[in-house]
Amino acid sequence: MPEAETPRSPAGRVVVAGGSGLIGSALVDSLRADGIEVTRLVRRPPASPDEVEWLTDTMPLDPAVLEGARAVVGLNGASIGRFPWTRKYKNTLLWSRVTPTQALARAVRELGTDAPALVNASAVGYYGSAPRRTLDEGSPRGETFLADVCAEWESAARGAGDSARVALLRTAPVVHRDGILKPLILLTKLGVSGPIGRGTQVWPWISLDDEVRAIRHVIDSDLDGPVNLTGPTRATANDLGFALAVRLNRPFLLRAPVWAVRTVLGRDATEAILTTDAHVVPAALEASGFEFRHATVEDAIAATVPAAG
């Protein structure tokens, strides 16, 4: 039986902020491949007619830029993969998410009932660490620094007002060679990979292909509020690390104690990314009929990492 496809978006225009990153560039390519007009908001002088400069001065985003669009997708945010998280960089992590989102929400709100849907990024870091629990969109916020960032990020998006549809994309780390796998591939190729801490902590994950398909599904659907963008099957840190090692034909042996990781990366980054234990499920996506192309973390790794000879 042929694989079911997510319905393609009808013709229309989509505005994308943060379109130069891994997810944003893949989303823009996917939309354009289906003949959908894309306007990209950029933090530099425009280089083509489909680009609009924004956030380079104190002027707010002109709501006219969003007029007639079906959706505006906000994917802004400095990388959480840059370490250590100094006090200055933690401010950058917060500012780079909240400030652009406030600008988008303000422009959407000013358009009133004619506004496009605001489909804005968030992260599964909202839930913090919750061992032995299953977390869906109704689960409470965690108590980590990243959970606080996500809460402010989502609050900024809700500033779009009651007239607009606002969807909050609580995205898991993307299993891609240019995403969460980038540093792990290097360590694995060098033969120095292994469990991080106990290694049995549950890591949310999603493939890049399903991330883009899920964002498009949200644009096309009536989904609003929080939407978990995570793979459909549970995976531990060891599951991901061992699958990568098998793919690269390398050992998975050297355990990294938590105290050592914390010394190098700092407490906030360690707790938010590497030792977090959160089984986050894509309840809203699956209830709305979305079907994943990569159902397991092994599938996601195989889709982006060539097998070693």
Mean pLDDT by groups of 10 residues along the chain of 309 residues: 43 92 98 97 95 89 96 96 90 97 97 96 97 97 95 98 97 96 92 93 98 98 97 98 97 89 79 89 98 98 93
Beta strand ranges found along 21-150 (DSSP E): 37-42, 51-53, 71-74, 117-123, 134-135
The pLDDT, as a whole number, for residue 24 is 98
Helix (H, G, I), strand (E, B) or coil at 171: strand
Task: Please choose, from the candidates 236, 224, 98, the residue with its C-alpha nearest in 3D space to the C-alpha of residue 161.
Answer: 224
The pLDDT, as a whole number, for residue 260 is 81
The pLDDT, as a whole number, for residue 51 is 97
- Whether this model's pTM surpasses 0.85: yes
The pLDDT, as a whole number, for residue 5 is 47
Helix (H, G, I), strand (E, B) or coil at 130: coil
Taking the C-alpha atoms of residue 218 and residue 167, their distance in angstroms, rounded to an integer, is 8
Residue ranges per domain, the chain?
Answer: 13-304
The pLDDT, as a whole number, for residue 84 is 87
Sign of CA dihedral 60, 65, 67, 73: negative
The pLDDT, as a whole number, for residue 12 is 84
Fold of 13-304: Rossmann fold (3.40.50)
